Amino acid sequence: MAFFTLRLAGDDTVEMIDQRKLPEEIIYVKLKNYGEVQGAIKDMIVRGAPAIGVSAAFGLYLGAKSLSDSGEAKDYKTFKDKFFKICDFMFSARPTAVNLGWAVDRIKRLVEKSAGSSIPSLVAGIKKEAVLIYDEDIEINKKMGAYGAALLKDGFTVLTHCNAGALATAGYGTALGVIRAAVESHKKISVISDETRPFLQGARLTTWELMEDHIPVTLIADNSAGLLMRKGMINAVIVGADRIASNGDVANKIGTYQVAVLAKENNIPFYVAAPLSTLDIKLKSGDEIPIEEREAGEIKEVFGKKIAPVNARALNFAFDVTPNKYVSAIITEKGVLYPPYKKSIAELFGK
């Protein structure tokens, strides 16, 4: 893979590929402080649940470093008070992907555990933890890939929605990681990618990413999936997730729900690939998942060109929830979960 999604460059810079510009331009932005990282998550320079979590962790490291470099925090208590405010700010960037809160909480726990430590050792500890979150993410995706690949047969055509690939993670991907692993095990797999209005993650990102890896991919308009399923052109659906409740309800990119319903109607398995950090076992069901609503302009314009009357009322929910009854299996780094999810998820978490 010739590109990277994000990385910590040296001691003071987070570099990310600007996903708003792909595939037209391959530009890496250099972010020098936590505010810029928070802005990059909010503005979707970086997107995808695991990639948002890793970005937040790197951003918090920059925040911790600035508290130390500026001399604003001279003792543990002041550091913790100021740093936790930065954590809240980072957390506020986007609401649906639980990986963001998961990464923020993991770093906060580290600070709690290090009570009384010197500022330099706190900063060094936060940096180490952020780099670990990054490294683990790639490792986890490869494990998920290995488990999930077994579900895809040689010759399968697989539909995916949004981008749950290397671009949505530190690398390799969740749903696309499963596809990559199947291809690496010498199975012939073709991908159908939904365009994924309005941000066009499927058209702009999934097709580009798979083409970079020479994995056959065909782009379709979001409203074509039903026809292709009825024609027998799709053998399985695989998507990522932004948050999964303890009963297996899955929040993912808007449009996922309708794909899942169509898949069930057409007897096509609907798989979700997600790391444990995407499972929010505090939540009883998907009804409790906060759904991000983005500004209407995103659906009334395409690349700055108006496609609707300026004053048209518009609703722009960025995610939807697929009820567990439509989910054939959830692929995690610890193995594949099957219904009833309340039981299989509880068992996974030792409950």
The C-alpha atoms of residue 94 and residue 299 are separated, in whole angstroms, by: 18
Q: Please say which residue, 20 or 342, places its beta carbon nearer to ligand MRU.
A: 20
| Contact footprint for ligand MRU (CB under 6 A) | 47-50, 97, 162, 164, 168-169, 174, 201, 239-242, 252-253, 318
Would you say 59 and 93 are in contact if contact means Cβ atoms under 8 Å apart? no
**98-113 and 76-91 helices cross at what angle (nearest 10)?**
180
Question: Which of 194, 222, 242, 249 is the catalytic position?
Answer: 242
Strands (E) located in 107-257: 157-160, 190-194, 217-220, 236-239, 243-245, 250-253
Shortest gap between Cβ of 242 and ligand MRU (angstroms)?
5
**76-91 and 119-149 helices cross at what angle (nearest 10)?**
40
10 phi and psi angles, rounded to 5 deg: 65, -140
The C-alpha atoms of residue 221 and residue 168 are separated, in whole angstroms, by: 21
Shortest gap between Cβ of 198 and ligand MRU (angstroms)?
10
Shortest gap between Cβ of 201 and ligand MRU (angstroms)?
5
Q: Please say which residue, 174 or 247, places its beta carbon nearer to ligand MRU.
A: 174
CB atoms within 10 A of CB 311: 6
Closest-by-Cβ residue to ligand MRU is 240
Q: Please say which residue, 107 or 241, places its beta carbon nearer to ligand MRU.
A: 241
Q: Please say which residue, 50 or 63, places its beta carbon nearer to ligand MRU.
A: 50
First-to-last alpha carbon distance for the chain, in angstroms, is: 39
* Per-residue tokens: 185: 């095990």
For residue 242, indicate whether it is catalytic: yes
Shortest gap between Cβ of 231 and ligand MRU (angstroms)?
25
Active site members: 242
